[in-house]
């Protein structure tokens, strides 16, 4: 006995959905960085992905960027603070001093490096590409 038209449509829809799911379409997954050299990410405590399977977005890599300045004279003053340890050559004791410096920098050459690479323990968001062979690491979850 043949099913009626409504049942046939339901069966076709279910078959089509099963075929799509079997092809492993893209989906969101979560992972944790377990190693950075070589890069390894454990995905949902089920599998570990290696560097060959991972595509890193700019959000999880070091990169250089140019900073735009608004001054019209072509120069910008940049102020930064850092610590120096000064050692006494006679006693060998060191003291820490904080120094603030100002530098004039040609704004056309003001390029900085953003250190954004993954570190062990980072929780990440991944998207599995269709077919499940590659995983795009989109970003970190929260702050680390």
Per residue in 83-98, pLDDT (tens digit) is 767 766 676 677 777 7
pLDDT in tens, 31-59: 999 999 999 999 988 899 999 999 999 99
| 3-state SS record for 10-56 | HHHHHHHHHHHHHCCCCEEEEEEEEEECCEEEEECCCEEEEHHHEEE
More confident residue, 6 or 1: 6
86 in a domain, yes or no?
Answer: yes
Average pLDDT, stretch 107-128? 86
72 in a domain, yes or no?
Answer: yes
123 in a domain, yes or no?
Answer: no
Q: Classify 8 as helix, strand or coil.
A: helix
How many domains, the chain?
Answer: 1
15 in a domain, yes or no?
Answer: no
pLDDT value of residue 53: 94
38 in a domain, yes or no?
Answer: no
CA distances from 8 to 16, 19, 21, 58 (A): 12, 17, 20, 48
- Residue 85 belongs to what domain range? 68-110
Q: Rounded to two decimals, what is the model's pTM?
A: 0.59
């Amino acid at each position: 006995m043949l099913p009626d038209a409504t049942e046939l449509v339901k069966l076709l829809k279910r078959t089509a959905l099963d075929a799509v799911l079997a092809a492993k379409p893209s989906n969101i997954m979560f992972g944790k960085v377990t190693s950075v050299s070589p890069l390894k990410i454990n995905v949902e405590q089920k599998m570990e992905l290696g560097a060959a399977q991972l595509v890193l977005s700019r959000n999880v890599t070091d990169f250089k960027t140019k900073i735009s300045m608004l001054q019209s004279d072509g120069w910008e003053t940049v102020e930064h603070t850092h610590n120096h340890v000064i050692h006494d050559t006679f006693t060998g004791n060191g003291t820490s001093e904080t120094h603030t410096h100002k530098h004039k920098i040609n704004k056309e050459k003001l390029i900085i490096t953003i250190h954004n690479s993954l570190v062990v323990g980072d929780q990440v968001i991944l998207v599995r590409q269709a077919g499940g062979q590659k995983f795009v690491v989109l970003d970190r979850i929260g702050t680390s």
